[in-house]
């Protein structure tokens, strides 16, 4: 299993310097990817601009959206952005796409919410057929049968939305079943994710406060996401081991703050 | 902390005990509408696993409960005049009344305040007066109903009608009784719970219940009816009522289990189904989890989140198993042609929690009897997957199907071979011109039979190699014209096919005939025609893909017209002694598409047209479907087709192990299992390299 790290592009107030610093540190570590989330109506950075910024100061590390909400953009614009990022980064992009879960983002993007699924399918086909993006590794997220079929039909793998290893294992089984149903050779790439806030009680509290705020749109579910935040060496290691045991290919650990100390602490824990 | 518990059922009382024991400074009051000795229902069942957690949580109640337990290890199945017994299971049960008495006494002992006869009409008031309100107020929870916007509950009836009786017949096994009547099948779930009494639940599908006149029957009349129906099994014993009216079992789910300092516990939060006997078990495990979370968290909100995170996945697993079990009992009337041993094995493996291998660990004798019945041999028999199968004049050495030549298979299928060049999925897809002899020879050398899948991709043709996705159209300069039932493109950028005209029908039909003749000449033992997943022939079946207004319209006769004429052409060329199979999507899994009932009718028509084996698949009729994926996701559909049409079936659906195949085959849900190729994805690295 490979390990990736989230860029703090969706934690409030992150600036260019923070992204550059974070990206340089990750580039010089054994981590294999830098990943971003996608949120319109929140104090955050655009996923493609954040990854492009990171791409400018890195050579090796992969760049991934985990996931970007495809239908917020038109297919042409999405393909242009992804193709540009793939080209300027020397082919390091892994494009994870989903339909997202927030109506406010669709309103802000002036994008139709009702047709999001069929539009995502069209975008995936477009990405697969245009010269700048046809080689880009595509992932699809989501839990419905329709999302899994879309993943298996058009993409290279599955982007899981987070949770304990057992939840990932169950989703991975469904993803493999979809893959087999669509007659794809081999197996889907399986990407997982989880939040961390390392340091002390204050770091955890700040991290959880961020998660409750970021996921406020889910209602009380935000508290459950916050409760799953990895807060010490042991919980990180158990989580990593758990994901590895159930067949995850790349696990992305997402920060809850742009404090560079968070990344350093994580690398310390993973290096032990 | 001041804790108010609403409801003195097992969940509420047990939580009271555990929370008080963990911190005696808690002031805990349990409010109950009924008097202390009023209880409905008879005995409740526990598994060995639950007992372990009860022992750890509160040893005194564990000891007292287990002292009065009825324990047994057998499951009896009464069916078609025989009784089959499976051993090696582990059940315990206790009278619900007795359990409550033990819990009440223990509550008083540890200082929990119990108040009976308190009718609570406004949970919100109670909440204001307590630091924590535990709503253990049962399946009809007022707390849940009074705040649907917070808990976001769904309550859906599942299964048939049932009545929960007691009887003075003392059983020595968990007992299932199946009894045919002129109105349909009735079944009993019965088990002992003390030295004098057993629980006796009678269940049947709603239409059977109505036809038998039970909708209008009084309680006494219902008892008389059931006593008559099961007189032989009751052997002179009587049925007893305790508000035993006919009910439907509601499936209760809640998106949220807590709201501020109100939390749902037990049936108020969730139900499964009595046929997997888990309500009290789940309720008491909830109590353990909640009390534990409260004692280890200083923050109440964090405790309630922890409780919910711990319990929700467990409950979902039981609800999944319950759904399978309910589905089984709803359709069990379709299984009454099965031999008793297979009927029993199907029953025991119904919820997906016990496989052939797991049952062999518990009861090796049972699976030995099943295996030797299954393969028709005396003495040592192979498990079902390795039992030979005869279809017509063709003998397969075992029932494992694979798509790559392998030494363990009875049948190896080719990938789809296109009948005409325009029926290829992609430029490299095989056609009738592709050399197949070496495949047949290799498969025969391995001792298996060789099957050719013959089809036409229709609107799914002219796509790229599947390495990076399927249904991705070829660049225009590499593409070719497509045909389909109607001129509807398959996916977002797919080319629009031309609707078939008379000349196309003739051309395709004769190409299938040619394919059949060639397949026979090359030495294939089985020919599988592809009527599935959005291909040319399948496109005629569904209203989503067939918009024709001629004699090939999407009506019941029109939709199968072309399929049947292709079948006629093929049967004229394919040796009658070899197997002719049809791969069929038996439901579209899409809005406005074919439901399973229509798929079954199509299967019936194909069988009447000469097909001897249905390869059951589903979906992919259109690109934007709503499939259901998971392990064995096609098994239930196969079971339904097999039962309704009386035809052997072949089923895949992400079956990865021989044990899964043994279970599916042994239970009679299919005749052949398509197993996944072993994954080659083994080179996973361990951090940091």
Closest residue on chain A to B257 (Cα): A220
DSSP annotation string for chain A: -EEEEE-STTSTT--HHHHHHHHHHHHTSS--EEEE---SSSS---HHHHHHHHHHT-SSSEEEEEEEEGGGS-HHHHHHHHHHHHHHTTS-EEEEEE--S-HHHHHHHT--STTHHHHHHHHHHHHHHSTTTTTSEEEEE-SSHHHHHHHHHH-SEEE-----HHHHHHHHHHHHHHHHHTT-SS--EEEEEEEE--SSHHHHHHHHHHHHHHTGGGTTHHHHHHHT-B-SHHHHHHHHHHHHHTT-SEEEEEESS--HHHHHHHHHHHH-
Q: How confident is the model at residue B678 (pLDDT cuts 50, 70, 90)?
A: low
Averaged pLDDT score across all residues of chain B: 93
Q: What's the pLDDT tens digit per position in B432-457?
A: 999 999 999 999 999 999 999 999 99
Over range B293-310, report the average pLDDT.
Answer: 92
| A112 lies within 8 A of chain B by CB | no
Closest residue on chain A to B309 (Cα): A224
Q: What ranges do the domains of chain A cover? A: 2-271
Q: What's the pLDDT tens digit per position in B323-365?
A: 999 999 988 988 888 899 999 999 999 988 899 999 999 999 9
Res. B680: pLDDT tops 70? no
Task: Check B654 against A181: CB less than 8 A apart.
Answer: yes
Closest residue on chain B to A148 (Cα): B629
B466 chain-A contacts, CB cut-off 8 A: 182-185
Q: Does domain A2-271 have CATH number 3.40.228.10?
A: no
CB B360 within 8 A of CB B666: no
| A31 lies within 8 A of chain B by CB | no
Question: Which residue do the tokens 């204001």 mark?
Answer: B128
Please state whether A169 falls in left (phi above 0), alpha (psi between -120 and 50) or beta.
Answer: alpha
Structure tokens at A103: 């109506």
* Residue-level pLDDT at B684: 34
Structure tokens at A14: 């992150």
* Residue-level pLDDT at B351: 86
Task: Check B469 against A121: CB less than 8 A apart.
Answer: no
CA distance A151 to chain B (A): 9
- Among B320, B472, B585, pick the best mutation site for testing chain A contact (most A Cβ within 10 A): B472
Q: What's the pLDDT tens digit per position in B628-669?
A: 999 999 999 999 999 999 999 999 999 999 999 999 999 999
Task: Check A271 against B688: CB less than 8 A apart.
Answer: yes
Structure tokens at B329: 């009992």
* Residue-level pLDDT at B440: 97
* Residue-level pLDDT at A218: 86
CA distance B673 to B658: 9
Res. A210: pLDDT tops 70? yes
CB B45 within 8 A of CB B175: no
CA distance B108 to B675: 58
Q: Homologous superfamily of B2-329 in CATH? A: FAD/NAD(P)-binding domain (3.50.50.60)
**How distant, in Å, are the alpha carbons of B340, B393, B571, B607, B611 from that of B574?**
37, 14, 5, 15, 11
Res. B283: pLDDT tops 90? yes
Task: Check B625 against A247: CB less than 8 A apart.
Answer: no
Which residues contact residue B550 at a Cβ distance below 8 angstroms, ignoring those fewer than 6 apart?
B558
CB B486 within 8 A of CB B546: yes
CA distance B327 to B322: 8
Q: What's the pLDDT tens digit per position in B454-494?
A: 999 999 999 999 999 999 999 999 999 999 999 999 999 99
Task: Check B687 against A270: CB less than 8 A apart.
Answer: yes
CA distance B237 to chain A (A): 47
Q: Which of A83-87, B3-7, B90-94, B164-168 shows the lowest mean pLDDT across its residues?
A: B90-94
pTM of the entire predicted model: 0.93
CB B654 within 8 A of CB B374: no
Which residues contact residue B347 at a Cβ distance below 8 angstroms, ignoring those fewer than 6 apart?
B77, B176, B328, B332
Q: What's the pLDDT tens digit per position in B534-592?
A: 999 999 999 999 999 999 999 999 999 999 999 999 999 999 999 999 999 999 999 99
Angle between helices A145-154 and A165-181 (to 10 degrees): 60
Q: What is the Cα gyration radius of chain A?
A: 17
CB B416 within 8 A of CB B455: yes
* Residue-level pLDDT at B685: 32
Closest residue on chain B to A267 (Cα): B688
Closest residue on chain A to B620 (Cα): A182
Task: Check A181 against B653: CB less than 8 A apart.
Answer: yes
CATH of domain B388-675: 3.20.20.70
* Residue-level pLDDT at B69: 84
* Residue-level pLDDT at B688: 35
Please state whether B309 falls in left (phi above 0), alpha (psi between -120 and 50) or beta.
Answer: alpha
| A205 lies within 8 A of chain B by CB | no
| A128 lies within 8 A of chain B by CB | yes
| A219 lies within 8 A of chain B by CB | yes
Return the closest-CA partner of residue A254 out of A22, A14, A6, A2.
A6
Task: Check A177 against B473: CB less than 8 A apart.
Answer: no
Over range B61-85, report the average pLDDT.
Answer: 91
Structure tokens at B636: 């239930």
Closest residue on chain A to B680 (Cα): A186
Over range B220-236, report the average pLDDT.
Answer: 94
Task: Check A247 against B684: CB less than 8 A apart.
Answer: yes
Task: Check B469 against A154: CB less than 8 A apart.
Answer: yes
| A146 lies within 8 A of chain B by CB | yes
Res. B120: pLDDT tops 90? no
* Residue-level pLDDT at A220: 82
A128 chain-B contacts, CB cut-off 8 A: 464, 468-469, 472
Alpha-helical regions (H) of B29-132: 48-57, 59-67, 96-110, 123-129
Averaged pLDDT score across all residues of chain A: 96
Distance separating the N- and C-terminal Cα atoms of chain A: 17
Q: A27 φ, ψ to 5°?
A: -60, -35
Residues of chain B with CATH 3.20.20.70: 388-675
| A21 lies within 8 A of chain B by CB | no
Judged by DSSP in three states, B85 sits in strand
ipTM above 0.85, yes or no: yes
* Residue-level pLDDT at B683: 35
Over range A207-229, report the average pLDDT.
Answer: 92
CA distance B530 to B457: 9
CA distance B245 to B251: 18
* Residue-level pLDDT at A178: 98
Question: Which residue do the tokens 């705040």 mark?
Answer: B147
């Amino acid at each position: 299993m490979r390990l990736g790290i989230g860029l703090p592009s969706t934690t409030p107030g992150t600036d260019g310097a923070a992204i550059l610093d974070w990206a340089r540190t990750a580039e010089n570590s054994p981590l294999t990817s830098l990943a971003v989330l996608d949120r319109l109506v929140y104090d955050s950075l655009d996923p493609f601009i954040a990854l492009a910024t990171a791409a400018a100061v890195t050579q090796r590390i992969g760049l991934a959206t985990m996931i970007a909400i495809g239908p917020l953009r038109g297919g042409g614009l999405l393909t242009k952005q992804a193709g540009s990022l793939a080209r300027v980064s020397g082919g390091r992009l892994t494009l994870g796409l989903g339909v997202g879960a927030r109506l406010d983002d669709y309103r802000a993007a002036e994008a139709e919410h009702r047709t999001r699924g069929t539009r995502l399918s069209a975008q995936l086909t477009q990405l697969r057929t245009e010269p700048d993006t046809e080689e880009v590794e595509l992932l699809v997220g989501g839990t419905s049968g329709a999302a899994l079929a879309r993943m298996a039909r058009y993409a290279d793998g599955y982007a899981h939305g987070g949770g304990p290893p057992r939840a990932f294992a169950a989703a991975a089984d469904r993803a493999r079943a979809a893959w087999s149903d669509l007659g794809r050779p081999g197996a889907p790439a399986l990407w997982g994710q989880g939040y961390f806030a390392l340091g002390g009680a204050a770091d955890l509290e700040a991290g959880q406060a961020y998660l409750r705020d970021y996921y406020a749109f889910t209602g009380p579910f935000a508290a459950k996401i916050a409760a799953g935040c990895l807060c010490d060496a042991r919980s990180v290691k158990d989580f990593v081991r758990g994901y590895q045991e159930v067949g995850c290919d790349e696990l992305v650990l997402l920060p809850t703050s742009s404090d560079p100390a968070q990344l350093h602490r994580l690398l310390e824990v993973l290096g032990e | 902390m001041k804790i108010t518990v609403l409801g003195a059922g097992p969940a509420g009382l047990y939580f009271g005990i555990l929370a008080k024991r963990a911190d005696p400074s808690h002031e805990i009051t349990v409010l109950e509408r009924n008097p202390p000795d009023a209880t409905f229902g008879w005995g409740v069942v526990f598994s060995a696993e639950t007992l372990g957690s009860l022992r750890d949580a509160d040893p005194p109640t564990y000891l007292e409960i287990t002292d009065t337990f009825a324990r047994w290890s057998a499951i009896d199945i009464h069916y078609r005049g025989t009784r089959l017994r499976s051993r090696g299971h582990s059940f315990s049960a206790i009278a619900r009344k007795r359990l409550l008495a033990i819990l009440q006494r223990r509550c008083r002992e540890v200082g929990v305040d119990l108040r009976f006869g308190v009718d609570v009409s406004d949970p919100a008031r109670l909440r204001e007066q307590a630091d924590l309100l535990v709503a253990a107020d049962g399946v009809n929870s007022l707390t849940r109903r009074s705040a649907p916007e917070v808990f976001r509950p769904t309550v859906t009836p599942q299964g048939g009608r049932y009545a929960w009786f007691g009887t003075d017949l003392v059983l020595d096994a968990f007992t299932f009784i199946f009894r045919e009547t002129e109105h349909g099948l009735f079944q009993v779930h019965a088990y002992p719970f003390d030295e004098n009494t057993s629980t006796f639940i009678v269940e049947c599908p709603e239409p059977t219940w109505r036809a038998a006149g039970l909708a209008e029957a009084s309680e006494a009349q219902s008892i008389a009816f059931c006593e008559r129906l099961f007189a032989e099994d009751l052997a002179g014993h009587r049925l007893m009522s305790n508000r035993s009216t006919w009910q439907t079992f509601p499936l209760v789910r809640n998106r949220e289990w807590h709201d501020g300092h109100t939390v749902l516990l037990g049936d108020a939060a969730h139900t499964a189904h009595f046929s997997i006997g888990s309500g009290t078990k789940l309720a008491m495990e909830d109590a353990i989890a909640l009390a534990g979370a409260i004692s280890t968290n200083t923050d109440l909100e964090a405790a309630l989140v922890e409780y919910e995170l711990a319990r929700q996945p467990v409950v979902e697993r039981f609800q999944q198993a319950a759904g399978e079990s309910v589905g089984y009992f709803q359709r069990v009337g379709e299984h009454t042609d099965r031999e008793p041993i297979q009927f029993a094995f199907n029953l025991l493996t119904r919820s997906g929690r016990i496989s052939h291998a797991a049952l062999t660990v518990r009861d090796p004798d049972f699976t030995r009897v099943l295996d030797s019945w299954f393969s028709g041999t005396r003495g040592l028999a192979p498990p079902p997957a390795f039992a030979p199968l005869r279809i017509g004049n063709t003998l397969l050495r075992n029932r494992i199907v694979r798509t790559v030549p392998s030494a363990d298979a009875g049948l190896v299928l080719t990938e789809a071979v296109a009948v005409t060049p325009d029926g290829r999925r992609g430029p490299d897809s095989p056609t009738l011109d592709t050399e197949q002899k070496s495949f047949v020879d290799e498969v025969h050398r391995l001792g298996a039979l060789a099957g050719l899948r013959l089809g036409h991709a229709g609107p799914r043709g002219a796509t790229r190699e599947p390495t990076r996705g399927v249904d991705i159209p070829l660049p225009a300069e590499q593409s070719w014209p497509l045909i389909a039932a109607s001129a509807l493109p398959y996916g977002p950028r797919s080319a629009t096919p031309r609707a078939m005209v008379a000349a196309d029908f003739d051309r395709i039909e004769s190409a299938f005939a040619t394919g059949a003749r060639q397949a026979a000449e090359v030495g294939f033992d089985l020919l599988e025609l592809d009527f599935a997943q959005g291909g040319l022939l399948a496109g005629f079946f569904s209203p989503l893909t067939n918009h024709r207004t001629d004699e090939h319209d999407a009506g019941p006769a029109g939709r199968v017209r072309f399929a049947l004429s292709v079948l006629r052409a093929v049967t004229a060329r394919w040796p009658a002694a070899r197997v002719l199979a049809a791969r069929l999507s038996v439901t579209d899994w899409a809005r406005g598409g074919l439901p399973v009932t229509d798929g079954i009718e199509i299967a019936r028509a194909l069988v009447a047209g000469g097909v001897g084996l249905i390869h059951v698949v589903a979906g992919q009729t259109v690109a934007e479907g709503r499939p259901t994926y998971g392990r064995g996701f096609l098994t239930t559909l196969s079971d339904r087709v097999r039962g309704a049409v009386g035809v052997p079936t072949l089923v895949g659906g992400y079956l990865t192990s021989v044990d899964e195949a043994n279970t599916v085959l042994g239970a009679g849900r299919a005749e052949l299992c398509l197993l996944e190729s072993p994954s080659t994805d083994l080179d996973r690295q361990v951090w940091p390299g």
